[in-house]
């Protein structure tokens, strides 16, 4: 087999595939949450890394090869950082201490740019890097820790959501499992090759086409509504979203939906909460179509609100579902305004289509493929 020919093609194929995976959510679904942004950032960084790996494999100058290698390893360091943030946010939620996860990354960057790679020698497949074994081991420990943490959190989430429909569990297993397994195998073999200075063939950028293709097959055919269902199921929205509210831009309530027989917080009270956090309702009349988001944690619960051109949607939740609630509220507000923009200019006309909004909002507090008693109130 012409291995060199394979190494000159597959890394670019992987890069193109992962660039597409990163761009796809923005172009098709316009996601808004930090969790989704961290995943798309990870995909873009993997694509950049594969591109740099291709450039590295084609290089014939030692200094150029070392420079590209340093940039390449910096990119993969930030990629694993984005991955561990996404895994942590979907399982534990956000925290003020999340920024501390950046400290080991900064330590790795110091290692990379202060003598990790001292040179390169050229073998039959391209440049083989000469690295300081101790420095590389220290860098690899941080990478292994982040990839292992991502794998553990993803596995724990998969086990915790064992009651999900099989079609959703299969998508989680194949998309996350294949990528994490490949990253784990790459790191362990790469550590061995660099610490022992074995001239192993760098296959990762070529093999990344496999999990990339799995992600495309599993997720690309899904509509925005189906992606929302997947996100709600993974986040256990039916157990953690307590109530959802919809206000007109005037500040008057339109819809309130909850799974309980009694609403935990009345619409009037949550309206005052939103008003306290920056006058969100009072400033909800943008000059052009656009969306803004605000949120607040109080006691053991939290609220997130999304403002569109005509309506404001707010969700009261308990647990690590901020990203899901933010994303789904953004999708619902955008879709509702696109379909009924002419009827939303006044509160009186908006009340006539409030039932349609109630049906969409109820998806946040209803288990997929399982009926659940809901209480929906429309304000007429």
> Of 126-130, 231-235, 351-355, 363-367, where does mean pLDDT reach its minimum?
363-367
Class for the domain spanning 3-221: mainly alpha
| Sheet of strand 292-298: strand arrangement | 292-298, 301-307, 311-317, 241-248, 253-258, 375-378
pLDDT beyond 50 at 372: no
165 pLDDT band (50/70/90 cuts)?
A: confident
CA distance 188 to 50: 18
- Looking at residue 113, its pLDDT comes to 95
Q: What is the pLDDT of residue 371?
A: 43
What does the domain layout of the chain look like in residue ranges? 3-221, 236-378
- Give me the helices (H) in 25-132, please: 34-58, 62-91, 102-111
Three-state secondary structure call for residue 305: strand
CB atoms near residue 154 (< 10 Å):
22
Model pLDDT for residues 29-44, shown as the tens digit of each residue: 666 689 989 989 999 9
Longest dimension (CA), the chain: 76
pLDDT at 370: 46
> Where is mean pLDDT largest: 102-116, 178-192, 224-238, 241-255?
102-116
Residue 94 pLDDT > 60 = yes
Answer whether residue 282 shows pLDDT above 90. no
Q: What does the alpha-carbon distance between residue 51 and residue 379 come to, in Å, rounded to a whole number? A: 55
Look over the chain and give the mean of its residue pLDDT values, rounded to a whole number.
Answer: 81
In the prediction, which pLDDT does 15 show? 92
What average pLDDT does the segment 254-268 reach? 66
Phi, psi of 128 (to 5 degrees): -105, 125
Reply yes or no on whether the pLDDT at 270 is more than 50: yes
Q: Give the confidence band of 287 by pLDDT, cuts at 50, 70, 90.
A: very low
Maximum mean pLDDT: which of 229-233, 310-314, 371-375: 310-314
pLDDT band with cut points at 50, 70 and 90 for residue 236:
confident
Q: What is the mean pLDDT of residues 360-364?
A: 85
Res 142: pLDDT: 92
Helix ranges restricted to H, 100-220? 102-111, 133-160, 166-196, 204-207, 209-219
- pLDDT band at residue 161 using 50, 70 and 90 as cut-offs: confident
Q: What torsion, rounded to 10 degrees, do the Cα atoms 351, 356, 362, 364 define?
A: -100
pLDDT over threshold 80, residue 261:
no
- Interval 1-17: pLDDT, tens: 555 666 678 889 989 99
Reduce the DSSP state of residue 304 to 3 states and report it. strand
In the predicted model, is pLDDT for residue 50 greater than 60? yes
CATH number of this structure's domain 236-378: 3.30.450.50
Q: What percent of the chain has pLDDT over 70?
A: 80
Strand-pair partners of 257: 244, 376
What span, in angstroms and rounded, lies between the C-alpha atoms of 128 and 122? 6
């Amino acid at each position: 087999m012409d291995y060199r020919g394979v190494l000159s093609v597959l890394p670019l194929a992987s890069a193109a595939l992962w660039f597409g995976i990163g761009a796809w959510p923005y172009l098709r679904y316009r996601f808004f949450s930090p969790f989704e942004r961290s995943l798309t950032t990870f995909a873009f960084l993997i694509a950049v890394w594969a591109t740099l790996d291709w450039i590295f494999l084609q290089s014939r100058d030692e200094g150029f090869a070392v420079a590209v290698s340093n940039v390449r390893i910096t990119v993969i360091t930030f990629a694993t950082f984005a991955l561990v943030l996404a895994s942590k946010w979907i399982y534990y939620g956000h925290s003020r201490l999340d920024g501390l996860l950046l400290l080991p990354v900064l330590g790795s960057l110091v290692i990379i740019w202060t003598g990790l790679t001292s040179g390169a020698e050229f073998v039959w497949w391209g440049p083989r890097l000469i690295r300081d074994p101790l420095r590389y081991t220290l860098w690899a420990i941080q990478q292994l820790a982040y990839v292992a943490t991502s794998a553990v959190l993803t596995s724990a989430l998969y086990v915790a959501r064992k009651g999900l429909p099989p079609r959703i569990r299969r998508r989680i297993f194949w998309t996350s499992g294949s990528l994490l397994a490949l990253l784990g195998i790459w790191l362990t073999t790469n550590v061995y090759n660099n610490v022992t200075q074995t001239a192993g063939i760098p296959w990762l950028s070529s093999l990344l086409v496999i999990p990339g293709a799995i992600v495309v097959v599993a997720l690309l055919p899904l509509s925005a509504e189906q992606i929302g269902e997947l996100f709600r199921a993974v986040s256990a929205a039916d157990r953690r979203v307590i109530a959802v509210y919809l206000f007109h831009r005037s500040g008057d309530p339109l819809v309130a939906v909850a799974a309980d027989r009694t609403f935990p917080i009345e619409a009037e009270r949550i309206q005052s909460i939103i008003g306290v956090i920056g006058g969100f309702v009072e400033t909800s009349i943008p000059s052009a179509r656009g969306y803004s988001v605000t949120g607040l944690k109080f006691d053991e619960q939290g609220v997130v609100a999304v403002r569109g051109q005509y309506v404001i949607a707010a969700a009261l939740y308990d647990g690590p579902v901020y990203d899901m609630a933010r994303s789904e509220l953004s999708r619902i507000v955008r879709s509702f305004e696109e379909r009924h923009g002419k009827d939303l200019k006044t509160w009186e006309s908006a009340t006539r289509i409030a039932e349609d909004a109630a049906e969409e909002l109820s998806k946040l507090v209803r288990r997929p493929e399982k009926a659940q008693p809901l209480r929906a109130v429309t304000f007429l």
